[in-house]
Amino acid sequence: MRLAINIDHIATLRNARGGHDPDPVEAALICEKAGAVGIVCHLREDRRHIKDRDVQLLRKKVESKLDLEMAATPEIIRIAVDVKPDLVTLVPEKRQELTTEGGLDVVGQKEYLKGVIDTFHSHRIQVSLFVDPTEPQLDASKDIGTDMIEIHTGEYAEAVSPRDKRTQLKRIKSVAKYGKFLGLGVNAGHGLGYSNIKPVAAIKEIDEVSIGHAIIVRAMFVGLERAVKEMIKLVKEKR
Between CA 18 and CA 2 the distance in angstroms is: 33
Between CA 15 and CA 48 the distance in angstroms is: 8
85 forms part of the interface with ligand PXP (CB under 6 A): no
Residue among 32, 69, 150, 208 flagged as catalytic: 69
Task: Give the x-and-dash track for 118-147 against ligand PXP (CB under 6 A).
Answer: ------------x-----------------
**In this complex, which beta carbon is closest to ligand PXP, that of residue 122 or of residue 134?**
134
Between CA 43 and CA 28 the distance in angstroms is: 15
Near ligand PXP by CB under 6 A: residue from 144, 192, 197, 201: 192
Near ligand PXP by CB under 6 A: residue from 114, 213, 229, 238: 213
Nearest to 7 by CA among 63, 155, 36, 17: 36
* Catalytic residue check, 69: yes
Between CA 104 and CA 129 the distance in angstroms is: 7
Between CA 134 and CA 128 the distance in angstroms is: 16
Residue 95 DSSP class: T
**In this complex, which beta carbon is closest to ligand PXP, that of residue 122 or of residue 175?**
175
Which residue type is seen at 18? G
**In this complex, which beta carbon is closest to ligand PXP, that of residue 122 or of residue 140?**
140
In whole angstroms, the minimum distance from the beta carbon of 77 to ligand PXP comes to 17
* HSE, side-chain direction, 13 A CA sphere, residue 203: 26
Q: Using CA of residue 23, residue 18, residue 191, residue 138, what is the dihedral sign? A: negative
* Catalytic residue check, 75: no
* Catalytic residue check, 121: no
Backbone φ, ψ for residue 136 (5° rounding): -60, -35
**In this complex, which beta carbon is closest to ligand PXP, that of residue 130 or of residue 178?**
130
Task: Give the x-and-dash track for 27-56 against ligand PXP (CB under 6 A).
Answer: ---------------x--------------
Which residue type is seen at 112? Y
**In this complex, which beta carbon is closest to ligand PXP, that of residue 1 or of residue 214?**
214
210 forms part of the interface with ligand PXP (CB under 6 A): yes
Cα 64 to chain centroid distance, Å, stands at 15
Site residues for ligand PXP per CB under 6 A: 6, 8, 42, 69, 89, 91, 99-100, 130, 150, 189-192, 210-214
Catalogue the active-site residues.
Answer: 42, 69, 190
